[in-house]
Chain A
Amino acid sequence: MDVEYLSQFNKRLFKKFLGVYVQQRRIQLELTTEQLSEITQLSEKEIKLIEVGRHQITHQIFDTLRVCLELDPNELINIGKITQVQNIMNLYKEIDEHYPR
């Protein structure tokens, strides 16, 4: 699963939604940020920044989180598609003058 591909439509939104999902999974697994930091070898600060969608998601970070938190591939695809929806809606607004606001 390629993070570049999933986030191609809107990287900022993808990071934001992924952060929400990561935090949700961490809480589901009853892990503290400190414990997740130990498991993933990422710093606690990085974990916190990821959860608020303010950390760059490299391939390595994405794969680490995906494996350690057992992120559901279908949910990751859904998140990618949501950013696509947002992208299409934004473009529609620009090109489709007859669409009522």
Chain B
Amino acid sequence: MSIILDRVIPVTKSEKIKHFIKDVGLPLNQAPEALGMTASDFMAWWSGFNPKAMRTQQVIQLGQFFNIHEDDILSGTYDKEFVRSVLFLGVEAVPERYSQYQFSFLRSSAHIIKFLTLTRGQHFSDMIMRKMNVSPLIYSSFDNKISLNYFVDLLEILASNGLKQDELDNLACVLFLTLSRTALGQKFKAAKTYFDCYSVLAENVHLFDTNFNYKFDLDRSQVRIETSLVYENHPHLNWSLARMDRLMRYRQIMMGWFPFLSKLPPIYPENVLKHTVTGVEASYVIKFTDYVPSQLFSLPTARFSQS
């Protein structure tokens, strides 16, 4: 009982930060850098001489240092093990739930972060990454792998941070933001017909993710893409039906937008989705004659090639 009574419960912002520093074991010689303070300011604050030196800016800086959201520091809801792994392993550390069963490539979500940066600003996209306990630096290579949990959480966090369904739908359409200037993007760009475009996809789909099994049935008039996710191979997944539906809706729209990379109008796939006891099966049929009228797609992108 005396132990409990002796324990000081942090109340002020200053006390909470001190508690955080002690709790995660942040060495005091690294703390000024983590807080964005000079060594002398830090010592004045730490010794209690100037408690007001701890402003909101310092808390945000501390969150950015550890790839966590500042609210988690103040509320004490941070993942201590994760913070310590960032401290001792570096910024490329990711939470365990993203580091297990890494069957997705980061190229499959890089365009989303780019989209957020362009439409909502760097601060917003960084904040989203911090909420996921991930550094934006993980996108330094699109070949880095990550768990499908990451992608599902990303959609969930975006939805809870004000993105409406319309905007979430748009995320599935902007692959060009990060793909167009890569070697894979050039392959899509070289495709002149829907058949060519989906042939490129069939050959390279494993570069996006290997969580799903894919089967392509392609001819000149249509493509049928059968995909399946077998739960047995993904014991780390623990999703609600709503989260799964959000993911599958994203995938449905995305399947129709690959032609945009080939300067062809996108076509929405017909979709059959089955939830079974063993997993999820989705079948997409894209009929190449179902393109939108040309007046809906009149941007001659070639004009932009050199500015």
Contact = CB atoms under 8 A, between A and B. Distances in A.
B268 A21 contact: no
Given A1-B307, A77-B307, A98-B270, A89 B119 contact: no
B117 A89 contact: no
Nearest to B271: A100
Contacts of B118: 17, 20-21, 75, 78-79, 82
**Which interface class (under 10, 10 to 19, 20 to 34, 35 or more) fits A?**
20 to 34
Interface in A56-93: 73-82, 84-86, 88-89, 91-92
The secondary structure that dominates the A interface is helix
A67 B266 CA distance: 34
Interface in A26-64: 27
A1 B170 CA distance: 25
A92 to B, nearest CB: 7
Interface string B242-277: 000000010000000000100001101011000000
A4 B13 CA distance: 50
Contacts of A99: 268
The secondary structure that dominates the B interface is helix
**Which interface class (under 10, 10 to 19, 20 to 34, 35 or more) fits B?**
20 to 34
B220 to A, nearest CB: 23
A27 B124 CA distance: 14
B119 A20 contact: yes
A85 B119 contact: no
A81 B296 contact: no
Contacts of A27: 122
A99 B301 CA distance: 26
Contacts of B271: 100
A96 B268 contact: yes
Interface of A: 1, 5, 8-9, 16-17, 20-21, 23-24, 27, 73-82, 84-86, 88-89, 91-92, 95-96, 98-100
28 contacts: A1-B307, A8-B299, A17-B119, A20-B121, A21-B118, A23-B121, A24-B122, A73-B307, A74-B181, A75-B118, A78-B176, A78-B177, A81-B174, A81-B176, A81-B299, A81-B301, A82-B115, A85-B170, A86-B170, A88-B296, A88-B297, A89-B169, A89-B170, A91-B292, A92-B292, A95-B292, A100-B249, A100-B271
